[in-house]
Chains A and B, each alone.
Chain A
């Protein structure tokens, strides 16, 4: 099972753009890159998913280089409410959503 590596923590200020990079050197051909967000005492929440190049939604952008060995989650103009743990995961294309969570990146946004 391919593993992901991401920084343990990051600090930012309100209004800044935050980029969280995830390394997945052994990503498989069928793996999609997925990011989840988790607030304290809540369940994880899906943010974005991509396979290659760039994906954008109303919350974030996901940048994936051609070799797919890393990816970057970009959060534009963060606010205090974006303080959370962000998980980078690889979805196995098995037809069932067994998600393997790592330790994630704890983002702290300060005023």
Chain B
């Protein structure tokens, strides 16, 4: 079964450092997403990406965040200057078209110290 893969599975970084979370969506999918889940809280939408541009973003997705699809297979989330409150599980997802099943990766646990 095709799957969304994310690396690394766990990343520890110091406050103020930049981090890049990487995702390989399912190959024939066209829509890509990032969500995050702070420990014990809800899964929250961050951003959706289609046709090489952001289609929607939440208020969480401020200027510190950016996304990129650099090479047609990877989809990355960059946090420019991490804060303690960025510590969370970050999930990448993809879908073949909107309003259908979204496939989620296993997540990257980001710990900011």
Chain A residues engaging chain B, CB cutoff 8 angstroms: 32, 38, 41-46, 49, 87, 91-103
Assuming A46-B101, A97-B100, is B56 touching A41 (CB within 8 A)?
no
Total A-B residue pairs with C-beta atoms closer than 8 Å? 62
CB distance from B40 to the nearest CB of A (A): 10
Interface string of B80-113 (1 = CB under 8 A from A): 0000000001010101011111111111010000
B91 touches A43 (CB 8 A): yes
CB of A58, distance to nearest CB on chain B (Å): 13
Q: Are B31 and A97 in contact (CB under 8 A)?
A: yes
Complex-state Cα separation, A38 to B93, whole angstroms: 14
Task: Determine the chain B residues whose CB is within 8 A of the CB of A45 once the complex forms.
Answer: 104
Find chain B residues with CB under 8 A from A101 CB.
42-44
* Interface residue tally for chain B (C-beta within 8 Å): 28
Which residues of chain A come closer than 8 Å to B33, judged between CB atoms?
97-98
Cross-chain pairs A/B with CB under 8 angstroms, 16 sampled: A32-B99, A41-B89, A42-B106, A43-B106, A44-B91, A44-B104, A46-B102, A87-B43, A93-B99, A94-B98, A94-B99, A96-B99, A97-B102, A99-B102, A101-B42, A101-B44
Please measure, in the bound complex, the distance between the C-alpha atom of A49 and the C-alpha atom of B100, giving whole angstroms.
Answer: 9
User: B50 at interface (Cβ–Cβ under 8 A)?
Assistant: yes
A41 CA to B40 CA, complexed, in Å: 11
Do A96 and B55 touch across chains, with their CB atoms under 8 A apart?
Answer: yes
The 8 A-B residue pairs whose C-beta atoms are closest, nearest first, are: A43-B104, A95-B98, A101-B43, A46-B101, A43-B91, A96-B98, A97-B102, A96-B48
Is B45 at the interface (CB under 8 A from chain A)?
Answer: yes
Residue interface mask B38-69, A partner, CB < 8 A = 1: 00001111001010000110000000000000
Give the shortest distance, in Å, between A62 (CB) and chain B (any CB): 14
Residues of the A chain whose Cβ atoms lie less than 8 Å from the Cβ of B55: 96
Q: Measured between alpha carbons, how far is A103 from B66 in the docked complex, in Å? A: 27
B97 neighbours in A (Cβ, 8 Å): 95
The contact of B93 among A43, A93, A100, by CB within 8 Å, is A43
Residue of A at shortest CB range from B103?
Answer: A46
